[in-house]
Amino acid sequence: MNIYVGNLAYGIHEEELRSIFENHGSVDSVKIIMDRDTGRSKGFGFVEMPDDSEGRTAIEQLHGVELQERSITVNEARPREPRSDNGGYRGNRW
């Protein structure tokens, strides 16, 4: 199960997030999304748990929990929306 974790404090590290989720079951991977330009956390990430029932338990237990003075959002991740082929460029290419 892929789990979205939002409203993360900018100082939290993947190891800390992994440790929190491992209290509720096995964790395959943890990824905090970083800003490409600044290298700073964007304040959200994803946790992959192989067992769906453990993932649901983690969601129920952790949603709304205060972590580093921020109430985190935890829910099942939605599939990524497809992107357009033009990369956002709207002008003429002459």
Q: What percent of the chain has pLDDT over 90?
A: 82
Domain boundaries, the chain: 2-76
- pLDDT grade for 7, boundaries at 50, 70 and 90: very high
pLDDT of residue 89: 58
Using the structure block, give the residue that is written with the tokens 């989720």. Answer: 21
Residue 49: other Cβ atoms inside 10 A: 24
pLDDT tens for each residue of 59-73: 999 999 999 999 999
Question: How many CB atoms neighbour CB 44 within 10 A?
Answer: 15
- Between 43 and 82, the more confident residue is 43
**Domain 2-76: which topology?**
Alpha-Beta Plaits (3.30.70)
Separation CA 86–CA 20 (nearest Å): 40
**How many angstroms separate the CA atoms of 31 and 14, rounded?**
6
Residue 44: pLDDT above 60? yes
Question: Please, what is the Cα angle at 18 between 3 and 52, to 5 degrees?
Answer: 40
Position 85 pLDDT exceeds 80: no
